[in-house]
Structure 1
């Protein structure tokens, strides 16, 4: 009798979906290949037809996540916003929305320790989403004198770090239930303080 895995439809994607569920439940390092195989309804040996091991499974989850994330970020930025500021704020909201809707992908991307440089496709996908935020930062800071303008990479990295902190502390899991304010409000206020410090928006009166 043939093994179950050899009669499975899209075995590779079934294993990815199983891995995402396990990541959500146990974290990116809290499960085994055997558990992913069992959840997908195949034998552990069948996993190795597509993946070298758990790290490769996680890397595929991260790759798919970065591609979804890049699509969302590009859509948010190119959404017909009236000002560069509104477009920039939209990318922050897209970050929070992605983390909520795709928690397994998010953890694989940012919490698994996956090595981007060891996977060219993954590195390219990650650069794409970061590039959207850098583009938004560059556009927003164009009117600052060049000698006082922060590099777009630094500017966007600060906002990325702020977004990640809001997600980790207030937008996912049990800590999210204790958030003093909606995560969107926290991020918007934080971005506002940062941008005022750069002179990109007027101080509150």
Structure 2
């Protein structure tokens, strides 16, 4: 990439708000997206978010209604903070408060396994390892939480889930969301008095 191409790329990225960093390592400075392939993940983000939320919500509600009790699920996201960082305070404060205050500027990256393959350490020996091929889905955090709230799905954000995981396995941007749904039950006192027809003998 020539100097002119790089300058053009940076300007285009700024216009599209594609400078990013994770909330947890925000003091490390902003990192520019490095390729057009990465930028493509941002396209259709709103549509992807609605489809993703719809699937999760339908599964939760179906499970809750079928079992007649609260259904719960856990979703792990990598959070990317986008945009210009000049307006950020030096002290971020509570990570959860920071996420909620800036949710419009945060992309939630959902990673799932598309396929697996086996690789042998030594040909002719039994040792092998599983290679996971991941797909990344970029979601609008603000729209995702909005869809949850519209459908009475409760959610909690936990940024301490990786605290006790060994550092070599830990992704410092990983955040866990617990989402749950309770089936709506009719309460007798809320029904009010029921009028009943009584046949009188004459």
TM-score by length of 1: 0.35
Q: Which protein has greater RCO, CA pairs closer than 8 Å, 6+ apart? A: 2
Structure 1 or 2: more helix by fraction: 1
TM-score by length of 2: 0.35
Structure 1 or 2: more strand by fraction: 2
Which has the higher Rg, Structure 1 or Structure 2?
2
